[in-house]
Homo-oligomer: A and B are copies of this chain.
Amino acid sequence: MLKIDTPLTVPAASAKEYIKNYRLITKDTGRLFLFAGDQKVEHLNSDFSGPDIDAEDQDPEHLFKIASQAEIGAFATQLGLIDKYGRDYKQVPYVVKINSKSNLVSIKDHDPISYSWYSVNDVAKFKKQSRLNIVGVGYTVYLGGEYESEILREAAQIIKDAHQNGLVAIIWMYPRGKNVPNEDDINIIAGGAGVAACLGADFVKVKYPYTGQEATAKEFRKVVAAAGRTKIISVGGSKLSPKELLTNIDQQIHIAHTNGNAIGRNLHQYPLKEAVKLAKAIAGIIYHDYPLAKTLKIMEK
């Protein structure tokens, strides 16, 4: 069984809860397969309706069906959706995505800012009231803009408060804006990962400059190193073929030594059955160290 050193901001009274949550979402591997479903705000309707998107995805409940049937570690989404569907999907481990913004405001015109919608205490109260299995909170940090200082303060407080309540704290870390010429610069990504470590995040979701090349994966070790005991999970990004996606994840986990992935569109834009199958393949890499070939075979079934 994975040995878990609870962070020191987790008080003794919440340690058991924290360890239970950590074990659950990492399935005792220390790695996390996060189903990230916050795009209804972040990308509005464009991720849910279009030529390459299955019609099932138009209904928000599609997300909950995937979350309940697929072999994921946790499902991250806004509290408002959990409010309406949670009653029917009680078994899902939820990460409450505590802030979100739309994509209408151009980053060129206005540095990004996305205040938390709820305090962690709101979430903890909701957890108690709803008896749902809420295991953590998620918060997006935009580094490098006019609001950076406000954002870092909010992030630091949220992580501390999450730990106080025994919740796992996950940071979406995006150096972004007119001061960040190249979001794909691995040194910048490593810098962001280091900031997440200084904030005390348990996991940090970072961009992976996709190439499918082993060289990239090797270079990416720098990001993993910079984060220290804060664990790196890579974003899935825009839609890839299952083979491309799985190859990518395999390289991330086994070459770059990241600790998991956050997959959104690459799951929910498929019909439920396909999504569940793909999740099985992804979980194979993340949780079971399946070789790539074995996961590709899952997809062929």
Q: Please name 23 pairs of A and B residues whose Cβ atoms are closer than 8 Å in the assembled complex, sorted by A.
A: A5-B87, A8-B82, A8-B83, A8-B86, A8-B129, A11-B129, A40-B198, A41-B198, A44-B188, A44-B191, A60-B227, A80-B198, A81-B200, A85-B228, A101-B148, A104-B148, A104-B175, A105-B148, A113-B149, A116-B153, A117-B152, A117-B153, A118-B160
Task: Please choose the segment from A67-75, A138-146, A250-258, A264-272 that sits at the chain B interface, where 4 or more of its residues have CB less than 8 A away.
Answer: A138-146
Complex interface: chain B residues within 8 A of A149 (CB): 99, 101, 113-115
B59 contacts A225, CB within 8 Å? yes
Q: Which of B5, B85, B152 is in CB contact (< 8 Å) with A101? A: B152
A7 touches B197 (CB 8 A): no
Chain B residues near A179 (CB-CB < 8 A): 104-106, 109
Q: Check if A105 sits within 8 Å of B194, measured CB to CB.
A: no
Q: Which residue, of A44, A195, A200, has the highest number of chain B Cβ atoms within 10 A?
A: A44
- Chain B nearest CB: distance from A259 CB in Å? 14
User: A86, A118, A145, A198: which has the most chain B beta carbons within 10 Å?
Assistant: A198
Question: Quick check: is A78 within 8 A (CB to CB) of the other chain?
Answer: yes
15 further A-B contacts with Cβ under 8 Å, apart from A49-B187, A61-B228, A81-B228, are A7-B83, A12-B129, A38-B198, A44-B190, A45-B194, A45-B222, A60-B197, A79-B156, A80-B199, A99-B149, A102-B148, A102-B175, A104-B143, A105-B144, A105-B179
Question: Counting CB contacts under 8 A, is A52 at the interface?
Answer: no
- Which of chain B's residues have a CB closer than 8 A to the CB of A232? none
- The residues of B that contact A120 with a CB separation of less than 8 Å are none
Q: Are B105 and A145 in contact (CB under 8 A)?
A: yes
Closest to A39 in B: B194
Mark contacts of A80-105 with chain B using CB atoms, 8 A cut-off: 1 yes-contact digit, 0 otherwise.
Answer: 11111111000000000001111011
Q: In the bound complex, do residue A40 and residue B194 qualify as a contact, i.e. CB atoms below 8 Å apart?
A: yes
Asked whether any CB of chain B lies closer than 8 Å to the CB of A26, the reply is: no
Residues of B within 8 A of A130 (CB): 8-9
A191 and B100 form a contact (CB under 8 A) = no
Chain B residues near A132: list those with CB within 8 A. 8
